[in-house]
Structure 1
Amino acid sequence: MKAPIIVPAAKLAERVQQKLTEAGADAPSSAATVRALMHGSLHGVDSHGVRLVGYYDGPLRSGEINGRPQVRLRKTAAATAMLDGDNGLGHHTGYEAMKAAVELARDSGIGAVGATGSSHYGAAGAYALAAAEAGMIGFATTNAESLVTLFGGREAFHGTNPLAVAAPVPGEKPWLMDMATSAIPFNRVLLYRSLGHPLPEAIAVDASGNPVRDPADATMLMPMGGADYGFKGAALAGVATLFSAILTGATLDHDLVSLGKSETAKPSNLGHFFIAIDPARFAGVTEMAAGMRRYLDALRASPPREGFPPPMAPGDREWQVVEQRLRDGIPVDQDTAQILGF
């Protein structure tokens, strides 16, 4: 087992910014990417945190990812828009698209923005959270390259295709749900390889579709629900594809080429989808705040089974991790530490 090193958050963000700039990212692109990757690392989503810097480095240098994109927004109706990310870093595309969705929602009560011409954008929760921080309910999803088998399948078909939702909560941090529709994200398999950890059961398979626990043998993931209920995860992955790729006209999961593996450095044309909802246009901000308070108080007071900790709402564990990591530092696996020069 390779123990991670602990790095103060500010120092880590500075080093990530430096690495992205050296690879060719302009100031808006690098700032958005640092924000999204630090979101992952601070919230304990290490598979989608700063370890992704190495994943973006080569494609930025080769031009597969445009480090200086001209992002273009095209409003299509009162509450809808399309955003062209100009083949830039997905984090820049993602934050710009959610910003536009929030602005549309302020005018129309709801804003929906589809994004194309993008690339991998890290943790979907970062963009849902941006809406919640603006007082809105936020939804974010993306499709991704094929890494996940269908239920009972032996070939990769869907991507890990996350679904993320966030909502403001009076007097505390937002309610935050961010989950892959696969058993785990593939970046967590790579993290387990780096750390020397075995995989849990019913998570990943080898090239023949056989379940494996050695992360070195894993070539594909199982859908959420595993061997018995994976049809649920596969269906939810299709929801992400429907919104982010089919509705927007982006490249479908099974047609995407992995970053850094295109012989011609061809851009991904990945798709994302974002929704912002203004509570003021429904029951009202005060009523929603009161409802969230009643809901969360009741949830957390629900009695646990013997041997289990008290119930937690989505985001409760993550916000505890943020507090701890801001105080004590962020763990960085040794492979990523070497890339960042620690």
Structure 2
Amino acid sequence: MPGGEIRFAASELEARTFSALREAGADEASAGAATRAMMHASRLGIDSHGVRLAAFYAEALRSGQVNGRPAPRLHRTGAATATLDADRGLGHLAAYAGMEAACDLARESGIGAVGIVRSTHYGAAGAYALAGAEAGYVAICTTNADSLVALHGGKARFHGTNPIAAAAPVAGSKPWLLDMATSAIPYNRILLFRSLQRELPAEVAADPAGEPTRDPFRAEMLMPLGGRDFGFKGAGLAGLVTILSAVIAGARPDHLVPPMNPEDGSLPQAHDIGHFCLAIDPERFVGRAGYDALMAQYLEGLRRAPASQALAPGDREWRTLEERERSGIPVDPDTARFLRLA
């Protein structure tokens, strides 16, 4: 494989990942949720947030930065709202629980929103939006994070990568699925490119002086979505995610969150970030039959639009899923060694 990647069956990766987290101190529910989210990413080709993160989570568990045996507490605050205290556990467990609660609220009220606090890194945001869509709801999930991204025109880190994920059910087909960082790329892609000895794309990262660099080993910070000329768009969206995920729920804003990967050699501090889960029931608006019909019309028109390659969000990922089910999931050498696959 290019870059030294080798492929493994999904079942083997899933078992090894779950076992590694359990050995690191995660209880069964936490290890199961984290493995489910990482396998979602690895199956769909989001390798920066796939099983390569298992070593990172295991280290966080062993250091005590993340609570391996949390007792999450859900508090209903209104007809369609709730908050969830994640008890510093793996963010995957909290986010799946938050989206499930949002769907329960939407089932009752037509819409459900859950703010999650005292949580930690939760990997690929799309995993939780997809869970909502698979339950029949239009779903949105966001998270803030520790500072890694410069402001537009900035020379220092301020926002986290602050992803926005959304998913919508499609009758008789895989859901429409969007999962995007508000930075030009996620930070984990820099770490992946370091492992693979690959050069970064242009204008996605900056060196310590704030100048763009393609060298993953010199990358000190990420640039906001839109790059040097249009980064105000990514920076604005990152701010919206901070408001939804942290401010309204009561978690720490990005620039006050201790780094998960301290570069000064100090021990990592307890994390405290927030997530936001929103579920909307189409039945309470246009009705399920109307929704299904209009969604089909929309996607048919989108895919027939004049373009070199007209794809709906999620189309590429579902194709990757099919390919990897046949040929296995590629794993970088560092992750293969950690999972005892090499």
Smaller-chain TM-score bracket: over 0.9
Output aligned runs, 1:122-141, within 5 Å. 122-141=123-142
Q: Is the 8 A contact 1:13 1:34 kept in 2?
A: yes
> Which residue of the partner structure matches residue 316 of structure 1?
315
Matched, 1:298 2:301: yes
Structure-2 change in CA distance of 1:260 and 1:224 (3 Å)? closer
1:240 corresponds to which residue? 241
Cα distance in 2 for partners of 1:98, 1:220 equals 30
SS of structure 1 residue aligned to 2:152: coil
Tell me the residue number matched to 1:61: 62
Q: How is 1:93-132 mapped onto 2 (pairs within 5 angstroms)?
A: 93-132=94-133
Aligned equivalents of 2:199, 2:269: Cα separation in 1: 34
User: Could you list the per-position Cα deviations for residues 191-225 of structure 1 after superposition, in whole angstroms to 9, with x for gaps in the alignment?
Assistant: 11111110111110001101101111101000000
Q: Which residue of 1 aligns with 2:23?
A: 22
Q: Is the 8 A contact 1:59 1:260 kept in 2?
A: no
Question: Any idea what SS the aligned residue of 1:32 has?
Answer: helix
Cα deviations by residue, 1:317-339 (Å, 9 ceiling, x for unpaired): 00000111112100000011111
1: CA distance, partners of 2:218 / 2:69: 37
After TM superposition, the score normalised by the length of structure 2 is 0.97
Assess if the C-alpha contact under 8 Å between 1:16 and 1:34 holds in 2: yes
Gaps of 5+ in 2: none
- 1:1-342 matches, within 5 Å, as 2-259=3-260, 261=262, 263=266, 265-304=268-307, 308=308, 310-342=309-341
One-letter code of the match for 2:256?
Answer: D
Residue 264 of structure 1 and its aligned partner are, at CA, apart by 6.1
Q: Which amino acid aligns with 1:292?
A: M
**2: distance between equivalents of 1:337 and 1:23?**
17
1:98-146 Cα distance to aligned partner (Å, 9 max, x none)? 0000000000000000001110000000000000000000000000110
Preserved CA contact (<8 Å) 2:260 2:269: no
The residue type paired with residue 109 of structure 1 is G
Give per-residue Cα distances to partners, 1:147-199, cap 9 Å, x unaligned: 00000000000000000100000111000000000000010011111111101
Please tell me whether the aligned partners of residues 139 and 275 of structure 1 are also in contact (alpha carbons under 8 angstroms): yes
Alpha carbons 2:258, 2:268 under 8 Å: kept? no
How far, CA to CA, are the matches of 1:181 and 1:266 in structure 2?
A: 25
SS class of match (2:76)? strand
2:37 and 2:303 map into 1 onto residues whose CA distance is: 29
1:259 CA drift (Å): 2.1
Looking at structure 2, the residues matched to 135 and 173 of structure 1 have their Cα atoms a distance apart, in angstroms, of: 12
CA distance in 2, matches of 1:260, 1:191: 15
Deviation at 1:260, TM superposition (A): 5.1
**1:263, CA displacement in angstroms?**
4.8
- Where does structure 1 lack aligned partners over 5 or more consecutive residues? none
Tell me the percent identity.
55
Cα pair distance change 1:204/1:265, threshold 3 Å:
closer
State the shift of 1:267 in Å.
1.8
CA contact (8 A) 2:303 2:311 kept: yes
Distance 2:270 2:149 in 1: 22
Retained in 2: the 8 A contact 1:25–1:68?
Answer: yes
C-alpha separation between the residues in 2 aligned to 1:25 and 1:45?
Answer: 23
SS of structure 1 residue aligned to 2:131: helix
1:330 counterpart letter in structure 2: I
In 1: Cα distance, 2:269 partner to 2:305 partner = 52
Report the number of matched residues.
338
- Structure 1 position 2, deviation (Å): 3.2
TM-score under structure 1 normalisation? 0.97
Within 2, Cα distance between the matches of 1:84 and 1:117?
Answer: 6
Deviations 1:273-327 (A, max 9, x none): 00000111110011010011000001101111xxx3x300000000000111112
